[in-house]
Amino acid sequence: GQQLNQSPQSMFIQEGEDVSMNCTSSSIFNTWLWYKQEPGEGPVLLIALYKAGELTSNGRLTAQFGITRKDSFLNISASIPSDVGIYFCAGQPKKAGNTPLVFGKGTRLSVIA
């Protein structure tokens, strides 16, 4: 099935640093979503994007829907220890009919205090 290319696969950063991760696709997406998953739990929705070029913030998190509709990025500013987890991008492909979300493989974030 279709997959998104998410990078980096993992990151180790110092507390207080900013973080950036992104997702790309070879095809157009109608919607981009970003989730965070903590160990042993289900993913939690952080940000949803619906329009090309849209830039949305949620506290220290900022995400953008790429103008080409084939990519999205997530930034985390001034990281803190509780930011640790796996971040997933997900997208709604531009296809006729109902299609489920496609997920990236995740970016594992570790924050060193």
Partner 1 sequence: DGGITQSPKYLFRKEGQNVTLSCEQNLNHDAMYWYRQDPGQGLRLIYYSQIVNDFQKGDIAEGYSVSREKKESFPLTVTSAQKNPTAFYLCASSIGQGRGGTEAFFGQGTRLTVV
In the complex, the residues that contact partner 1 under the rule CB under 8 A are 1, 3, 6, 30-31, 33, 35, 40-45, 48, 88, 90, 92, 98, 100-101, 103-106
Comparing C-alpha atoms, which of 99, 107, 113 is closest to residue 27? Answer: 99
Query: What's the burial of 60, exposed, middle or buried (CB within 10 Å: 0-12/13-18/19+)?
Result: middle
Q: Answer whether the bond into residue 8 is a cis peptide, omega within 30°.
A: yes
Distance of closest approach, residue 110 Cβ to partner 1, in angstroms: 15
Residue with tokens 């949803």: 48
R_g (Cα) of the chain, nearest Å? 14
Distance of closest approach, residue 59 Cβ to partner 1, in angstroms: 18
Comparison of 30 and 75: residue with beta carbon closer to partner 1: 30
Comparison of 16 and 99: residue with beta carbon closer to partner 1: 99
Comparison of 40 and 59: residue with beta carbon closer to partner 1: 40
